[in-house]
């Protein structure tokens, strides 16, 4: 009988194939290495070929079979070619993690239309492209599976200094919720991951708009470093969320708080988000 539960047990991923976008750094890299350590074979992509090769080397040295490709997730044709290569190499895929994403710090009035197009093309359309390229084959294979989409705590509670970023992450959350219901009859679970403040390269690579860019970047990097929540911890929590087939998985205390407040007391949540935005201003 078909059930709405995902069948993936992440404590042992032997004979499973996990696809991860943006696997050359941060959360994507640590998730790839954790999946490899638990026995999974991997299909990894990134635009950062050096970082991608480093992740793949470590996974291969753990004895795993790894397919890699340089893919810009904003390009549907590149994603399709990656899916074709992956499905030509492996019998099928069990978990798809749409992780690749970029940040952009700035209020709406400092964010250009080009900024919006760039951010939406990666953070939202990258997820759409990953889902479009891999899910039909997952359904056709008939084994069930799991789709993990990286949203953000900024996709639970809008942050005025992350207006475009928040908008893309709210969109990923909405897409994930809809997809979860649509794919339930196929025994494919869908989880939106909503990390809080995680110390990764995103603090260095995110463009900052407005004034005092250097000072704000320093402040941002120091805040993330002080918070000290590592991408390794996020990776463990992502696999736990897949195991439990969570619809939405806030990660780190601040994300849990935002999740609860945004649903229980929206006015208080908005006040807090204004205070949080002051950190980036």
Ligand X SMILES: NC(=O)c1ccc[n+]([C@@H]2O[C@H](COP(=O)([O-])OP(=O)(O)OC[C@H]3O[C@@H](n4cnc5c(N)ncnc54)[C@H](O)[C@@H]3O)[C@@H](O)[C@H]2O)c1
Beta carbon nearer to ligand X, 10 or 121 = 121
Judged by CB, which is closer to ligand X: 27, or 138?
A: 27
Sheet holding 17-21, edge to edge: 66-70, 41-46, 17-21, 95-98, 145-150, 188-195, 248-251
Q: Measured between alpha carbons, how far is 153 from 162 in angstroms, rounded to an integer?
A: 11
- The answer to whether the beta carbons of residues 203 and 220 sit under 8 Å apart is yes
Query: Quick check: 22 and 73 in contact, CB under 8 A?
Result: yes
Q: Which residues contact 154 (CB under 8 A, 6 or more apart)?
A: 162, 165, 166, 169
Q: Which of 8, 2, 213, 196 is nearest to 94 (CA)?
A: 8
For residues 224-263, which are near ligand X according to CB under 6 A? 231
Q: CB of 13: closest distance to ligand X in angstroms?
A: 20
**Distance between CA atoms of 231 and 200, rounded to whole angstroms?**
7
Query: Shortest Cβ distance from residue 278 to ligand X (Å)?
Result: 17
Q: End-to-end alpha-carbon separation of the chain, Å?
A: 53
Q: Is 200 in the site for ligand X (CB under 6 A)?
A: yes
Other C-beta atoms closer than 10 Å to the C-beta of 221 total 15
- Name the one range near ligand X by CB under 6 A: 56-64, 72-80, 211-219, 263-271: 72-80
Q: Which of 36, 73, 220, 239 binds ligand X (CB under 6 A)?
A: 73
With contacts defined by CB under 6 A, how many residues of the chain interact with ligand X? 30
The 128-167 contact track toward ligand X, x by CB under 6 A, reads ----------------------x-x---------------
The residues with which 208 forms a beta bridge, in sequence order, are 105
By CB under 6 A, name the one of 6, 10, 68, 74 that touches ligand X: 74
Question: Which is closer to ligand X, CB of 28 or CB of 189?
Answer: 28
The strand pair at 188-195 and 248-251 is best described as parallel
Contact flags string 86-115 toward ligand X, x per CB under 6 A: -------------xxxx-------------
On whether the CB atoms of residues 93 and 138 are closer than 8 A, the answer is yes
- Which residues carry out catalysis? 165
Site string for ligand X, 31-60 (x = CB under 6 A): ---------------xxx--x---------
- Contacts to ligand X by CB under 6 A: 21-22, 24-28, 46-48, 51, 71-74, 99-102, 122, 150, 152, 195, 197-198, 200-202, 205, 231
């Amino acid at each position: 009988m078909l059930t709405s539960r995902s069948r993936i047990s992440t404590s042992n991923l032997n004979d499973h194939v996990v696809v991860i976008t943006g696997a050359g750094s941060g959360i994507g890299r640590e998730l790839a290495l954790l999946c490899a350590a638990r026995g999974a074979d991997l299909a990894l992509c990134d635009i950062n070929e050096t970082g991608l090769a480093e992740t793949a080397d470590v996974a291969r040295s753990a004895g795993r079979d790894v397919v890699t490709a340089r893919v810009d997730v904003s390009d549907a044709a590149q994603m399709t070619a990656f899916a074709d290569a992956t499905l030509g190499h492996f019998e099928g895929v069990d978990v798809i993690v749409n992780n690749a994403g970029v940040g952009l710090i700035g209020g709406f009035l400092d964010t250009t239309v080009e900024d919006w197009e760039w951010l939406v093309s990666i953070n939202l359309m990258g997820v759409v492209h990953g889902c479009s390229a891999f899910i039909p084959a997952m359904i056709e294979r008939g084994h069930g599976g799991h789709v993990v989409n990286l949203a953000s705590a900024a996709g639970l509670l809008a942050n005025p200094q992350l207006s475009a970023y928040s908008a893309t992450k709210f969109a990923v959350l909405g897409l994930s919720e809809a997809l979860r219901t649509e794919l339930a009859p196929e025994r494919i679970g869908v989880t939106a991951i909503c990390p809080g403040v995680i110390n990764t390269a995103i603090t260095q690579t995110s463009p900052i708009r407005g004034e005092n860019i250097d000072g704000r970047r320093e402040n941002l990097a120091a805040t993330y470093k002080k918070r000290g929540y590592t991408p390794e911890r996020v990776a463990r929590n992502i696999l736990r969320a897949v195991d439990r087939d969570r619809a939405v998985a806030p990660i780190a205390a601040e994300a849990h708080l935002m999740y609860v407040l945004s649903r229980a007391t929206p006015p208080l949540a908005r006040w807090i988000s204004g205070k949080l935005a002051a950190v980036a201003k």
